[in-house]
Structure 1
């Protein structure tokens, strides 16, 4: 596992892919058909997917915040530096 306890396979997912998997897990848990141990594993993966989605959203927000417009309407962009 890497930082924030997110496994490498989840870290590679785009926001949309992680969100889709998370939605599938939620549906599966809501229907109650899974056994207890499977539900616990799915819940754990869901938490990791949620963290990945949050990280991707934070990164996107930081990128947007790097764009600025001066008083003359000129757009400038600072280089994005990942934390």
Structure 2
């Protein structure tokens, strides 16, 4: 069984590693055979990993730009996930 990571080191994990570990934690919790104390530690780790992954995705989203054709001219625009008001 995989040991919980040092929670203080989670912030420095690359997104892919954090997501991989989050998937491991979810799998371990879904099995349901971890002792209560370990399950609580895994849950805490999973919540922190989910938060870290969310922050890293938000950061990446802010860095993405779109090329938009306006009046036959290509312009860079920030990527916006919000729906445009009608």
Unaligned runs of 5+ in 2: 1-6, 79-86
CA root-mean-square deviation? 2.1
Query: How does 1:1-83 map onto structure 2 within 5 Å?
Result: 7-65=7-65, 69=68, 71=70, 72-75=73-76
State the distance in 1 between where 2:77 and 2:57 align. 22
TM-score when scaled to structure 2? 0.69
Superposed displacement of residue 73, structure 1: 1.7
Quick check: 2:67–2:76 contact (8 Å CA) kept in 1? yes
State the distance in 2 between where 1:18 and 1:8 align. 13
From the two aligned structures, give the one with the greater strand fraction.
Answer: 2
Q: Kindly report structure 1 stretches of 4+ aligned residues shifted beyond 3 Å.
A: 67-71, 74-77
From the two aligned structures, give the one with the greater helix fraction.
Answer: 1
| Greater RCO (CA < 8 Å, at least 6 residues apart) | 1
Unaligned runs of 5+ in 1: 1-6, 78-83
Q: For each residue in 1:4-62, what CA deviation from the matched residue of structure 2 results, as whole angstroms up to 9, or x when unmatched?
A: xxx54111111111110000000000101110000000000000000000000000010
* Higher Rg of the two aligned structures: 2
Aligned residues: 70
